[in-house]
Amino acid sequence: DIVMTQTPLSLSVTPGEPASISCRSSQRLLDSDDGNTYLDWYLQKPGQSPRLLIYTLSHRASGVPDRFSGGGSGTDFKLTISRVETEDVGVYYCMQRIDLPYTFGQGTKLEIK
Amino acid sequence: QMQLVESGGGVVQPGRSLRLSCAVSGFTFSNYAMHWVRQAPGLGLEWVAAISHDAKKKYYSDSVKGRFTISRDNSKNTLYLQMNSLRSDDTALYYCVRIPSLWGQGTLATVSS
């Protein structure tokens, strides 16, 4: 199974400041057949289902503000929030779906200072 | 409006069974592979099982293989998860998911004596 490791596990950010979350996979997530990197990012707000933020490495899902961006290569990936807002609180997860079983990172809890 | 609505959760004793259902609407169910993902109380996300669009291929996590069965009825737009020989560590909120973008609200299965 592919192991996904997120850092940090918690983050406290002042509104308006940037934030980033790293995710490392134990195997490469690049599909050489179609060129896609199958790494997604989710945000789970308290009491809610996970919401897709970023899919296939860097594509923002519908309705996701452009302050969220995803990037990386190989086995190292990053979610960046350019300017954190109070509504961004919750737990962020990375997930790989290049190979079954799909696996998630442990989650990163973002709090507002 | 695309929607996934899970049902069937409840409290059961160890060793007993539960059958979860997921009613789908707003998209052509028979065109998509579907998944179950679970989340134990206060913990992270765990992929459980997947089924191809035509039900010919089924995949399971090692933790549920041999005990859980995923199935679907494309004529009824419904996904199922038959859970047998339940254990206390199966206690979780079970999400029906059209990975990566569409998640249900979840149904809680509690295994306790």
Q: Does the beta-carbon distance from A50 to B44 stay under 8 Å?
A: no
CA distance B83 to B26: 27
**Could you tell me the mean pLDDT of each successive run of 10 residues in chain A, 113 residues long?**
98 98 98 96 97 98 98 97 98 97 98 96
Nearest residue, CB atoms, A50 vs list B35, B62, B103:
B103
Q: What percent of the residues of chain B are helix, what percent strand, and what percent coil, each to the nearest 5?
A: 5, 50, 45
Interval A72-98: pLDDT, tens: 999 999 999 999 999 999 999 999 999
pLDDT of residue B45: 98
Average pLDDT of chain B? Answer: 98
**Which residues numbered 21-50 in B keep a CB inside 8 Å of some CB on A?**
35, 44-47, 50
CA distance A25 to A87: 28
pLDDT of residue B75: 98
Beta bridge partners of A61: none
Strand A4-7 relative to strand A19-25, pairing: antiparallel
CA distance B35 to A2: 18
Interval B53-92: pLDDT, tens: 999 999 999 999 999 999 999 999 999 999 999 999 999 9
Q: Å from A67 to nearest chain B CA?
A: 19
Interval B17-55: pLDDT, tens: 999 999 999 999 999 999 999 999 999 999 999 999 999
Is A50 part of the contact surface with chain B (CB cutoff 8 Å)?
A: yes
Is A95 part of the contact surface with chain B (CB cutoff 8 Å)?
A: yes
Nearest residue, CB atoms, A40 vs list B61, B100, B104:
B100
